[in-house]
Amino acid sequence: MKGRESGMPEEAYWATFFDPEAALEQLLILDNSPGNIVEFGCGFGTFTMSAARRTAGIVTALDIEPEMVEAVRQKAEARAYDNIQVVLRDFVTDGTGLAASSQAHAMIFNLLHLENPVALLREAHRVLGLDGMLSVIHWRSDIATPRGPSLEIRPTPEQCQTWMEEAGFKAIQSVDLQASCPYHFGLLGQR
C-alpha cells in the first residue's frame, strides 16, 4: 500500500535537502558492528550508499516503487557495493520479510506520516536484535519546507517519540540535524 503523500521529486532536487554522510554520522549507531541494517523506503538511495559504507553487514533497502528499487540497484552495482540487498516490497502491508532479531539498525526516514505509523515501528522493533537501534528522520512540522507531506499530517517529534514508546522502543533521544538536514528532525531509539 503506497502511503499518502509519498511521491518523490526529481532526484537532484531531493538531494539538496540532505547531507547523508553527516546525518548518518549522528544517527547510525552500530555498537555490535558489523551489523545488518534495514532501510524502510530507500527512495533514490540517498542514505543507502552511506549506510553501506559504514557497515560490513548487509543493508536491506526496501521500497514499493520498482523505479526506485532499480535505481538503487544500479547505484550499488556501479559502486561495486556487494553488501546492499535491494528489495521491491510493500513493507506497510506485508512487513519486511526479514527474520526477527536479524538487524542491528533500522532506518525509517520521512515515513511516519503514513496511516499507521505504530505498525511500521513495531515491524522495525521485531526485526531488531537485542539493543538494536532505530533512527527516525522526518520533515519538521513547525516550519514550512520546500518539500514534504502537507503540514497537517506531519508528526511532531513528541508524537513520534510516543509512537516509538508504544512500539516498544526505549532510551529515545532527540538528534539535532540542523547542519545536515535543516528541514528535518531526528530521533534515536533502542530496542
Please give the pLDDT value at position 48. Answer: 96
Domains of the chain by residue range: 11-190
Q: Strands 84-88, 128-139: parallel, antiparallel or unpaired by DSSP? A: unpaired
Rounded to an integer, the average pLDDT of 129-139 is: 95
DSSP letter at 3 equals P
Burial class of residue 13 in the structure, from the number of CB atoms within 10 Å of its CB (0-12 exposed, 13-18 middle, 19+ buried): exposed
pLDDT of residue 132 exceeding 90, the answer is yes
- Confidence (pLDDT) at 143: 87
Task: Give yes or no for residue 164 having a pLDDT over 60.
Answer: yes
Asked if residues 75 and 51 have their Cβ atoms less than 8 Å apart, the reply is no
pLDDT level of residue 159 (50, 70, 90 thresholds): very high
d(CA 134, CA 54): 16
Amino acid at 32: N
In the chain, % of residues over pLDDT 90: 75
- The CATH number that domain 11-190 falls under is 3.40.50.150
Flag the least confident range among 15-29, 50-64, 131-145: 15-29
**Cα four-point dihedral sign 185, 133, 92, 96:** positive
Buried b (16+ CB within 10 A) or exposed e, 117-155: beebbbbbbbbbbeebbbbbbbbbbeeebeebbeeeebb
